[in-house]
């Protein structure tokens, strides 16, 4: 998992309440057995005018020119500004996969659905919670100033606006530790690889029959 320390990026506004995970990545794309390739189908039903199916070449699709992420000023955005209850609905881990593979490193919203919130941390995305008034002001500034960029310093736990104003945010210490070090659940376990190997070797020495396989 990619570590998150300090990130500076273009912000894009998703100005809708209650954006659910089926809007983030529609159900037909969950058929894939891979963990990659979901970026082109992020917000698929809003992003394109034609219906999307797995395996389609995105270059053959009809983009919706009115959708925010299709607007030239937001191309390359890596910070998504959202409204209340972002990520509600079903608990599909494909939602943060799609956001990450599109290029988003962080989200800023007043609130998130609990399971989606947890899944973001496990997949290298930082979901920041700020007061609704601050989020509304960020929406106004992002829309008012093309090229609006924010800096997110996870160590200091602040969002830094272009004018230098710092917006502090809270993050649980263990989640912060994992993001700063780039540890997902597997990475956390592999920190103890030597101890695991030693345990397995000792167990096998004491119970050698465990190595036998049924034919």
Helix extents (H) in the chain: 21-24, 44-47, 94-102, 114-122, 132-144, 173-181, 185-190, 193-206
**CA 150 – CA 172 distance, rounded (Å):** 22
pLDDT tens by residue, 99-116: 999 999 999 999 999 999
What pLDDT does 21 receive?
97
Residue 208, pLDDT above cutoff 90 = no
pLDDT-above-90 percentage for the chain: 75
The region, left, alpha or beta by phi > 0 then psi within -120 to 50, assigned to residue 76 is left
- Kindly report which listed range (7-11, 28-32, 157-161, 206-210) carries the lowest average pLDDT score: 206-210
The whole-number pLDDT of residue 212 equals 73
Give tens-digit pLDDT for 146-190: 999 999 999 999 999 999 999 999 999 999 999 999 887 766 766
Closest CA to 41 of 122, 117, 95, 105: 95
pTM: predicted TM-score of the whole model, two decimal places: 0.88
> What structural domains does the chain harbor?
6-182 (3.20.19.10)
Contact residues for 141 (Cβ-Cβ < 8 A; gap 6+)? 148, 161
Q: For the chain, what percentages of helix, strand and coil (3-state, to nearest 5) are there?
A: 40, 15, 40
């Amino acid at each position: 998992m990619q570590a998150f320390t300090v990130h500076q990026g273009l912000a894009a506004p998703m100005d809708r309440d209650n954006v659910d995970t089926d809007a983030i990545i529609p159900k037909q794309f969950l058929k894939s057995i891979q963990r990659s390739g979901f970026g082109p189908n992020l917000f698929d039903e809003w992003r394109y005018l034609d219906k999307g199916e797995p395996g389609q070449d995105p270059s053959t699709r009809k983009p919706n020119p009115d959708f925010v992420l299709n607007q030239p000023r937001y191309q390359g955005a890596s910070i998504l500004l959202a409204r209340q209850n972002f990520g509600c609905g079903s608990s599909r881990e494909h939602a943060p996969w799609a956001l990450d593979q599109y290029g988003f490193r962080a989200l800023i919203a007043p609130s998130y659905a609990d399971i989606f919130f947890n899944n973001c941390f496990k997949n290298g995305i930082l979901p920041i919670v700020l007061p609704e008034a601050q989020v509304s002001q960020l929406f106004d500034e992002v829309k008012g100033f093309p090229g609006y960029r924010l800096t997110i310093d996870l160590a200091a736990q602040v969002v830094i606006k272009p004018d230098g104003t710092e917006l502090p945010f809270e993050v649980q210490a263990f989640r912060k530790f994992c993001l700063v070090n780039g540890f997902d659940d597997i990475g956390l376990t592999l920190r103890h690889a030597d101890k695991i190997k030693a345990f397995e070797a000792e167990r096998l020495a004491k119970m050698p029959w465990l190595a036998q396989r049924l034919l």
